[in-house]
Amino acid sequence: MGKNGNLIVGLDLGTTKTCVIVGEVHNGGIDVIGFASVPSKGLRKGMVINIESTVDSISKVIEEAELMSGCKISAVYTGIAGSHIKGINSHGVIGIKDSEVTKDDISRVIEAAKAIAIPLDREIIHILPQEFIVDEQNGIHEPLGMAGVRLEANVHMVTGAASSAQNIIKCANRNGLVVKELVLQPLASSESTLEDDERELGVVLVDIGGGTTDIALLKGGSIRYTSVLALGGDHITSDIAVGLRTSLKQAEELKLHYGSTLEGLTDKNEIIEIPLSGGTQPRKVSRQFLCQIIQSRVEEIFKLVHREILRSGYRELMAPGVVLTGGTSLLDGIGELGEQILDLPLRVGYPNTVGGLSEIVKSPLYATAVGLILYGRKHASNGGTRTQGYKNIFTRITQGTKNWLAEVI
């Protein structure tokens, strides 16, 4: 697929931007050797709504990334999000055949945990192990070879609308790209921004992008709860456009240059001038009013996040707090407002753990894309050089399960 075959490519199909990171794997680490980002045209609330425009954005961004890295890209790890995503915890129990856990027992217990009714129009995106229980002993991460008679598995299953998954795969395939795996966006962001301690002790990852807010709760090293809300920074922009009667483009500029969620700290006499076309006098608006609009929407987003944290049942275990990623986490004052509403310590997550051109991608905007290459490195069965990807949903699911099993075993 590239110069030396040790490449892993992440394609983040966001609502506002489509970006690609090309990673080169070496002795356990990964270097960024290519990066490109273009505005997304065919997505809404994290989902593809226009195939042609999405195919177009992918084509542009891949071409740019190929130029920069000097590599031909043929396979990608791609993110998936949208309010159709559902995460559920499930449990499987089997009898151990020969009083010692074998690979076959592990496959069977996962099958047992998977055996819950999933409607035909949904598909399994991830089966994430939480723990195995051998007889009465819980908290086991590697049960292979353990003695016992009864094996149980707790897993977190992420499912999504099959049509949404197929549309993403179709857009990539139309560009001659194989999708190696679809990865839940907050899972990818968690790979690039969380510390091991946070993953172990309990942390809430919140990625506020343009069209969605993705939530993942981790504890004991694994995912416990996932949810995707159909709200993001673009809603703030449209509120500004409506509230101040401007175009979306102007509203976005006002948000980026003068926006803050600290309405109370804004000077109430500060006036912003909005340039108008056709030589007309610029229109004057109060900055405090702008910040009031922003604050109300951000408050709403955090209240919904809070509701999800409570719903998860893990609120009391999230002592280390919240890590915020996505472009909206760059909004002035958002950390303070988030801490206040969620009543938890909060930090903004900058992706790390990569080398090479890492400075270019060191922004919460690229947490998902960096996470995709880290996820790829972790799960690629042969260093990311596999050229046969998922031709259809069914091979994809089995392959995904196999990769997971390979990791557990």
Ligand X SMILES: Nc1ncnc2c1ncn2[C@@H]1O[C@H](COP(=O)(O)OP(=O)(O)OP(=O)(O)O)[C@@H](O)[C@H]1O
Contact footprint for ligand X (CB under 6 A)? 14-17, 46, 81, 209-212, 232-234, 237, 252, 255-256, 259, 326-328, 330-331, 365
Kindly provide the b/e burial profile for residues 39-75, where b requires at least 16 CB atoms within 10 angstroms of the residue's own CB.
ebebbbbbbbebeeebbbbbbbbbebbbebbebebbb
Provide, rounded to whole angstroms, the least separation between the CB of residue 287 and ligand X: 15
Within positions 341 to 380, which residues make up the interface with Mg ion, using CB under 5 A? 368
Shortest distance, position 82 Cβ to ligand X, whole Å: 8
Shortest reach from residue 252's CB to ligand X, in Å: 6
Instruction: Find the shortest distance in angstroms from Cβ 1 to ligand X.
Output: 25
Nearer to Mg ion, 1 or 301 (CB): 301
- Rank residues 14 and 92 by Cβ distance to ligand X and give the closer one: 14
| Closer residue to ligand X, CB minimum distance, 130 or 190 | 190
Helix (H) or strand (E) holding 336: helix 334-342
Q: Which listed residue (2, 42, 209, 364) binds Mg ion by CB under 5 A?
A: 209
How is the beta sheet containing 7-13 ordered, strand by strand?
178-184, 75-80, 7-13, 17-26, 29-39, 355-356
**Cα Rg of the chain (Å, integer):** 22
Beta bridge partners of 31: 24, 355
- Min dist CB 12 to ligand X, Å, is 6
Q: Examine residue 232 and tell whether it contacts Mg ion (CB under 5 A).
A: no
DSSP 124: E
3-state secondary structure of 378: helix
Of 8-16, 156-164, 275-283, 294-302, the segment contacting Mg ion by CB under 5 A is: 8-16
Which of 98, 142, 93, 133 is CA-nearest to residue 113?
Answer: 93
First to last CA, the chain: 28
Which lies closer to ligand X via its Cβ, residue 247 or residue 387? 247
**Position of minimal CB gap to Mg ion:** 209
Burial (0-12, 13-18, 19+ Cβ within 10 Å), 185:
buried
Closest CB to Mg ion among 42 and 320?
42
Q: Which is nearer to ligand X, 16 or 159 (CB)?
A: 16
Residue showing tokens 């290519």: 34
In whole angstroms, how close is the CB of 37 to ligand X at the nearest point? Answer: 8
For residue 99, what are its two tokens?
A: 């009083």
Question: Does the footprint of Mg ion cover residue 14 (CB under 5 A)?
Answer: yes
Binding site for Mg ion (CB under 5 A): 14, 209, 368
